[in-house]
A and B are shown apart, each in its own frame.
Chain A
Amino acid sequence: MNHWPFILAAYGVVAAAMALLIGASWRAMRRAERAVEDLRR
Protein backbone atom coordinates (compact mmCIF):
# COMPACT_ATOMS: atom_id res chain seq x y z
CA MET A 1 0.00 0.00 0.00
CA ASN A 2 1.28 3.46 -0.92
CA HIS A 3 1.46 5.49 2.30
CA TRP A 4 1.98 8.92 0.73
CA PRO A 5 -1.72 9.73 0.07
CA PHE A 6 -2.37 9.11 3.78
CA ILE A 7 0.60 11.24 4.84
CA LEU A 8 -0.42 14.12 2.56
CA ALA A 9 -4.05 13.87 3.73
CA ALA A 10 -2.96 14.10 7.40
CA TYR A 11 -0.69 17.11 6.75
CA GLY A 12 -3.35 18.74 4.55
CA VAL A 13 -6.09 18.44 7.18
CA VAL A 14 -3.82 19.90 9.86
CA ALA A 15 -2.63 22.75 7.61
CA ALA A 16 -6.21 23.65 6.60
CA ALA A 17 -7.45 23.57 10.21
CA MET A 18 -4.51 25.71 11.40
CA ALA A 19 -5.04 28.24 8.59
CA LEU A 20 -8.76 28.51 9.43
CA LEU A 21 -8.10 28.84 13.17
CA ILE A 22 -5.36 31.46 12.75
CA GLY A 23 -7.34 33.39 10.11
CA ALA A 24 -10.58 33.43 12.13
CA SER A 25 -8.78 34.41 15.38
CA TRP A 26 -6.81 37.17 13.64
CA ARG A 27 -9.90 38.60 11.92
CA ALA A 28 -11.98 38.53 15.14
CA MET A 29 -9.17 40.25 17.07
CA ARG A 30 -8.58 42.97 14.47
CA ARG A 31 -12.33 43.62 14.06
CA ALA A 32 -12.91 43.95 17.83
CA GLU A 33 -9.80 46.09 18.47
CA ARG A 34 -10.60 48.36 15.52
CA ALA A 35 -14.16 48.82 16.81
CA VAL A 36 -12.79 49.91 20.22
CA GLU A 37 -10.36 52.35 18.52
CA ASP A 38 -13.15 53.76 16.34
CA LEU A 39 -15.38 54.31 19.35
CA ARG A 40 -12.56 56.10 21.20
CA ARG A 41 -12.17 58.67 18.38
Chain B
Amino acid sequence: MPALHALANPTRFLSIARPLTPVLLWAGLLLLAVGAWAGLTLTPPDYLQGESVRILYVHVPSAWLGMGGWTGIALASFSLLVWRHPLAAIAARAVALPGAVFAALCLITGSIWGRPTWGTWWEWDGRLTSMLLLFFLYLAWIGLARADAERGGDGRIPAIFGLAGTALLPVIRYSVVWWRTLHQGPSITVSGSSIDGSILWPLWLTLTGFSLVFGAIVLMRMRAMLAQQRLEARMRRMAA
Protein backbone atom coordinates (compact mmCIF):
# COMPACT_ATOMS: atom_id res chain seq x y z
CA MET B 1 0.00 0.00 0.00
CA PRO B 2 2.82 2.54 0.65
CA ALA B 3 3.73 2.21 -3.06
CA LEU B 4 0.18 3.25 -4.00
CA HIS B 5 0.39 6.33 -1.80
CA ALA B 6 3.84 7.17 -3.17
CA LEU B 7 2.22 7.42 -6.61
CA ALA B 8 -0.35 9.92 -5.33
CA ASN B 9 1.89 12.72 -6.55
CA PRO B 10 1.23 13.14 -10.31
CA THR B 11 4.81 14.39 -10.92
CA ARG B 12 6.25 11.28 -9.27
CA PHE B 13 3.78 9.10 -11.17
CA LEU B 14 4.83 10.69 -14.47
CA SER B 15 8.53 10.19 -13.70
CA ILE B 16 7.79 6.45 -13.51
CA ALA B 17 5.16 6.27 -16.27
CA ARG B 18 7.24 8.03 -18.94
CA PRO B 19 10.08 5.47 -19.14
CA LEU B 20 7.73 2.56 -18.35
CA THR B 21 5.29 3.18 -21.23
CA PRO B 22 7.60 2.20 -24.16
CA VAL B 23 9.08 -0.72 -22.17
CA LEU B 24 5.62 -2.24 -21.56
CA LEU B 25 4.48 -1.52 -25.11
CA TRP B 26 7.45 -3.03 -26.97
CA ALA B 27 7.91 -5.99 -24.60
CA GLY B 28 4.18 -6.71 -24.90
CA LEU B 29 4.15 -6.47 -28.70
CA LEU B 30 7.22 -8.75 -28.93
CA LEU B 31 5.61 -11.39 -26.69
CA LEU B 32 2.36 -11.09 -28.66
CA ALA B 33 4.13 -11.59 -31.98
CA VAL B 34 6.03 -14.65 -30.73
CA GLY B 35 2.94 -16.11 -29.01
CA ALA B 36 0.68 -15.57 -32.04
CA TRP B 37 3.27 -17.04 -34.42
CA ALA B 38 3.71 -20.08 -32.13
CA GLY B 39 -0.05 -20.46 -31.74
CA LEU B 40 -0.63 -20.32 -35.48
CA THR B 41 2.26 -22.49 -36.64
CA LEU B 42 3.91 -24.57 -33.91
CA THR B 43 1.09 -26.07 -31.85
CA PRO B 44 -0.87 -29.14 -32.97
CA PRO B 45 -4.63 -29.00 -33.73
CA ASP B 46 -6.94 -30.15 -30.94
CA TYR B 47 -8.25 -33.71 -31.24
CA LEU B 48 -11.87 -32.50 -30.89
CA GLN B 49 -11.95 -28.88 -32.09
CA GLY B 50 -9.32 -29.20 -34.81
CA GLU B 51 -7.53 -26.06 -36.02
CA SER B 52 -10.09 -23.65 -34.51
CA VAL B 53 -8.47 -24.16 -31.07
CA ARG B 54 -5.86 -21.57 -32.19
CA ILE B 55 -8.44 -18.84 -31.48
CA LEU B 56 -7.74 -19.65 -27.81
CA TYR B 57 -4.57 -17.49 -27.91
CA VAL B 58 -6.51 -14.28 -28.59
CA HIS B 59 -9.86 -15.17 -27.00
CA VAL B 60 -8.67 -16.10 -23.49
CA PRO B 61 -6.44 -12.99 -23.05
CA SER B 62 -9.37 -10.82 -24.25
CA ALA B 63 -11.64 -12.39 -21.62
CA TRP B 64 -8.91 -12.04 -18.96
CA LEU B 65 -8.41 -8.33 -19.73
CA GLY B 66 -12.14 -7.65 -20.10
CA MET B 67 -12.58 -8.88 -16.53
CA GLY B 68 -9.20 -7.51 -15.37
CA GLY B 69 -10.16 -4.06 -16.63
CA TRP B 70 -13.24 -4.01 -14.42
CA THR B 71 -11.12 -5.20 -11.48
CA GLY B 72 -8.89 -2.18 -12.20
CA ILE B 73 -11.91 0.14 -12.15
CA ALA B 74 -13.01 -1.41 -8.84
CA LEU B 75 -9.55 -1.00 -7.23
CA ALA B 76 -9.33 2.60 -8.43
CA SER B 77 -12.88 3.23 -7.17
CA PHE B 78 -11.99 1.78 -3.77
CA SER B 79 -8.89 3.98 -3.44
CA LEU B 80 -10.94 7.01 -4.52
CA LEU B 81 -13.66 6.37 -1.95
CA VAL B 82 -11.38 5.35 0.94
CA TRP B 83 -8.16 7.36 0.48
CA ARG B 84 -9.28 10.07 -1.98
CA HIS B 85 -6.27 9.06 -4.08
CA PRO B 86 -5.77 11.95 -6.54
CA LEU B 87 -4.98 9.66 -9.49
CA ALA B 88 -7.77 7.13 -8.82
CA ALA B 89 -10.47 8.77 -10.95
CA ILE B 90 -8.01 9.23 -13.84
CA ALA B 91 -6.84 5.61 -13.53
CA ALA B 92 -10.43 4.31 -13.63
CA ARG B 93 -11.25 6.42 -16.70
CA ALA B 94 -8.01 5.29 -18.39
CA VAL B 95 -8.81 1.60 -17.80
CA ALA B 96 -12.48 1.74 -18.85
CA LEU B 97 -12.13 2.11 -22.63
CA PRO B 98 -9.46 -0.60 -23.17
CA GLY B 99 -11.43 -2.84 -20.76
CA ALA B 100 -14.57 -2.35 -22.84
CA VAL B 101 -12.64 -3.04 -26.07
CA PHE B 102 -11.25 -6.30 -24.67
CA ALA B 103 -14.70 -7.36 -23.41
CA ALA B 104 -16.00 -6.72 -26.96
CA LEU B 105 -13.05 -8.64 -28.46
CA CYS B 106 -13.82 -11.55 -26.14
CA LEU B 107 -17.42 -11.60 -27.42
CA ILE B 108 -16.40 -11.24 -31.09
CA THR B 109 -13.61 -13.86 -31.05
CA GLY B 110 -15.85 -16.19 -29.02
CA SER B 111 -18.58 -15.81 -31.61
CA ILE B 112 -16.13 -16.51 -34.46
CA TRP B 113 -14.84 -19.56 -32.54
CA GLY B 114 -18.39 -20.72 -31.83
CA ARG B 115 -19.42 -20.97 -35.49
CA PRO B 116 -17.08 -23.84 -36.53
CA THR B 117 -17.10 -25.45 -33.04
CA TRP B 118 -20.74 -25.24 -31.94
CA GLY B 119 -22.37 -24.53 -35.31
CA THR B 120 -23.73 -21.18 -34.12
CA TRP B 121 -22.46 -17.60 -33.79
CA TRP B 122 -24.38 -16.92 -30.58
CA GLU B 123 -26.25 -18.72 -27.83
CA TRP B 124 -27.88 -17.22 -24.72
CA ASP B 125 -25.53 -19.31 -22.60
CA GLY B 126 -24.57 -18.22 -19.05
CA ARG B 127 -20.96 -17.30 -19.92
CA LEU B 128 -21.80 -15.46 -23.14
CA THR B 129 -24.71 -13.56 -21.60
CA SER B 130 -22.78 -12.54 -18.45
CA MET B 131 -19.85 -11.35 -20.60
CA LEU B 132 -22.26 -9.31 -22.74
CA LEU B 133 -23.63 -7.77 -19.53
CA LEU B 134 -20.07 -6.82 -18.53
CA PHE B 135 -19.63 -5.06 -21.88
CA PHE B 136 -22.86 -3.10 -21.28
CA LEU B 137 -21.66 -2.25 -17.75
CA TYR B 138 -18.49 -0.76 -19.26
CA LEU B 139 -20.56 1.38 -21.65
CA ALA B 140 -22.79 2.55 -18.79
CA TRP B 141 -19.75 3.32 -16.60
CA ILE B 142 -18.04 5.31 -19.37
CA GLY B 143 -21.22 7.34 -19.94
CA LEU B 144 -21.68 7.94 -16.22
CA ALA B 145 -18.03 8.95 -15.65
CA ARG B 146 -18.18 11.35 -18.60
CA ALA B 147 -21.41 12.95 -17.34
CA ASP B 148 -19.96 13.20 -13.81
CA ALA B 149 -16.79 14.89 -15.10
CA GLU B 150 -18.78 17.35 -17.25
CA ARG B 151 -20.89 18.35 -14.25
CA GLY B 152 -17.78 18.88 -12.12
CA GLY B 153 -18.50 15.85 -9.93
CA ASP B 154 -15.93 14.38 -7.56
CA GLY B 155 -16.06 10.90 -9.15
CA ARG B 156 -17.84 9.25 -6.21
CA ILE B 157 -20.94 8.17 -8.17
CA PRO B 158 -18.96 6.32 -10.90
CA ALA B 159 -16.77 4.87 -8.11
CA ILE B 160 -19.81 3.41 -6.32
CA PHE B 161 -21.04 2.00 -9.64
CA GLY B 162 -17.56 0.58 -10.30
CA LEU B 163 -17.56 -1.23 -6.95
CA ALA B 164 -21.15 -2.50 -7.35
CA GLY B 165 -20.32 -3.87 -10.81
CA THR B 166 -17.74 -6.26 -9.34
CA ALA B 167 -20.70 -8.46 -8.31
CA LEU B 168 -20.81 -9.58 -11.96
CA LEU B 169 -17.22 -10.89 -12.00
CA PRO B 170 -17.86 -14.07 -9.93
CA VAL B 171 -21.03 -14.66 -11.98
CA ILE B 172 -18.90 -14.67 -15.17
CA ARG B 173 -16.24 -16.84 -13.53
CA TYR B 174 -18.68 -19.49 -12.24
CA SER B 175 -21.29 -19.22 -15.01
CA VAL B 176 -19.82 -22.30 -16.71
CA VAL B 177 -20.22 -24.26 -13.47
CA TRP B 178 -23.70 -23.02 -12.52
CA TRP B 179 -25.28 -23.21 -16.00
CA ARG B 180 -23.77 -25.94 -18.15
CA THR B 181 -24.92 -25.26 -21.71
CA LEU B 182 -22.65 -24.70 -24.71
CA HIS B 183 -19.56 -23.03 -23.29
CA GLN B 184 -16.98 -25.48 -21.95
CA GLY B 185 -16.28 -25.68 -18.22
CA PRO B 186 -13.26 -24.05 -16.58
CA SER B 187 -10.13 -25.43 -18.28
CA ILE B 188 -7.54 -23.33 -16.41
CA THR B 189 -7.84 -23.17 -12.62
CA VAL B 190 -5.45 -22.52 -9.73
CA SER B 191 -4.94 -26.26 -9.37
CA GLY B 192 -3.88 -26.74 -12.99
CA SER B 193 -5.12 -26.98 -16.54
CA SER B 194 -7.06 -29.58 -18.49
CA ILE B 195 -5.47 -28.28 -21.74
CA ASP B 196 -2.52 -30.33 -22.95
CA GLY B 197 0.86 -28.62 -22.48
CA SER B 198 1.64 -28.84 -26.21
CA ILE B 199 -1.31 -26.50 -26.89
CA LEU B 200 -1.18 -24.43 -23.69
CA TRP B 201 2.34 -22.93 -23.71
CA PRO B 202 1.84 -20.07 -26.27
CA LEU B 203 -1.15 -18.91 -24.22
CA TRP B 204 1.20 -17.71 -21.46
CA LEU B 205 3.09 -15.62 -24.05
CA THR B 206 -0.03 -13.97 -25.50
CA LEU B 207 -1.58 -13.56 -22.02
CA THR B 208 1.53 -11.75 -20.75
CA GLY B 209 1.91 -9.82 -24.03
CA PHE B 210 -1.69 -8.57 -24.05
CA SER B 211 -1.42 -7.64 -20.34
CA LEU B 212 1.75 -5.59 -20.91
CA VAL B 213 0.21 -3.80 -23.92
CA PHE B 214 -2.94 -3.15 -21.85
CA GLY B 215 -0.71 -1.61 -19.15
CA ALA B 216 1.01 0.58 -21.76
CA ILE B 217 -2.35 1.76 -23.15
CA VAL B 218 -3.58 2.64 -19.64
CA LEU B 219 -0.37 4.60 -18.93
CA MET B 220 -0.67 6.46 -22.26
CA ARG B 221 -4.28 7.37 -21.50
CA MET B 222 -3.40 8.48 -17.94
CA ARG B 223 -0.55 10.64 -19.28
CA ALA B 224 -2.90 12.22 -21.83
CA MET B 225 -5.52 12.96 -19.15
CA LEU B 226 -2.93 14.41 -16.73
CA ALA B 227 -1.50 16.62 -19.49
CA GLN B 228 -5.02 17.75 -20.39
CA GLN B 229 -5.69 18.61 -16.73
CA ARG B 230 -2.46 20.63 -16.52
CA LEU B 231 -3.34 22.39 -19.75
CA GLU B 232 -6.80 23.34 -18.51
CA ALA B 233 -5.43 24.51 -15.13
CA ARG B 234 -2.83 26.69 -16.86
CA MET B 235 -5.46 28.16 -19.23
CA ARG B 236 -7.66 28.98 -16.23
CA ARG B 237 -4.74 30.70 -14.46
CA MET B 238 -3.92 32.66 -17.60
CA ALA B 239 -7.54 33.72 -18.05
CA ALA B 240 -7.86 34.83 -14.39
Interface residues of B in 201-235 (CB under 8 A from A): 213, 216-217, 220-221, 223-225, 227-228, 230-231, 234
Residues of chain B with a CB closer than 8 A to A25's CB: 217, 220-221, 224
Q: At the interface, yes or no: B105 with Cβ under 8 Å from chain A? A: yes
Of B25, B216, B217, most A-chain CB atoms within 10 Å: B217
CA distance A3 to B55 in the complex (A): 10
Given contacts A4-B51, A21-B98, A36-B227, contact A14 B109 (CB under 8 A): yes
Residues of chain B with a CB closer than 8 A to A4's CB: 51
B37 → chain A, closest Cβ, in Å? 11
Is the Cβ of A14 less than 8 Å from the Cβ of B62? Answer: yes
Stretch in B70-78, B112-120, B175-183 touching the partner: B112-120
Residues of chain A with a CB closer than 8 A to B52's CB: 3, 6-7
Contact indicator per residue, chain B 38-55, by CB within 8 Å of chain A (1) or not (0): 001000000000111011
CA distance A39 to B217 in the complex (A): 25
Is the Cβ of A29 less than 8 Å from the Cβ of B221? Answer: yes
Contact indicator per residue, chain B 51-95, by CB within 8 Å of chain A (1) or not (0): 110110011001000000000000000000000000000000000
Given contacts A10-B58, A29-B223, contact A36 B231 (CB under 8 A): yes
Residues of chain B with a CB closer than 8 A to A14's CB: 58, 62, 105, 109
Given contacts A6-B116, A36-B230, contact A22 B58 (CB under 8 A): no
Q: Count of B residues near A, CB < 8 Å? A: 35
**CB-nearest residue of chain B relative to A4?**
B51
Residues of chain A with a CB closer than 8 A to B105's CB: 13-14, 17
Q: At the interface, yes or no: B168 with Cβ under 8 Å from chain A? A: no
Interface residues of B in 2-58 (CB under 8 A from A): 25, 36, 40, 50-52, 54-55, 58
Residues of chain B with a CB closer than 8 A to A1's CB: 116
Is the Cβ of B231 less than 8 Å from the Cβ of A32? Answer: yes
Of B40, B101, B216, B220, most A-chain CB atoms within 10 Å: B220
**CB-nearest residue of chain A relative to B119?**
A1
Is the Cβ of A10 less than 8 Å from the Cβ of B231? Answer: no
Is the Cβ of B234 less than 8 Å from the Cβ of A6? Answer: no
Is the Cβ of A3 less than 8 Å from the Cβ of B213? Answer: no
CA distance A7 to B46 in the complex (A): 14
Other than the known A22-B213, A28-B224, what 11 A-B pairs have Cβ atoms closer than 8 Å?
A1-B116, A7-B51, A7-B52, A9-B112, A13-B109, A21-B97, A21-B217, A22-B217, A26-B220, A29-B227, A32-B227
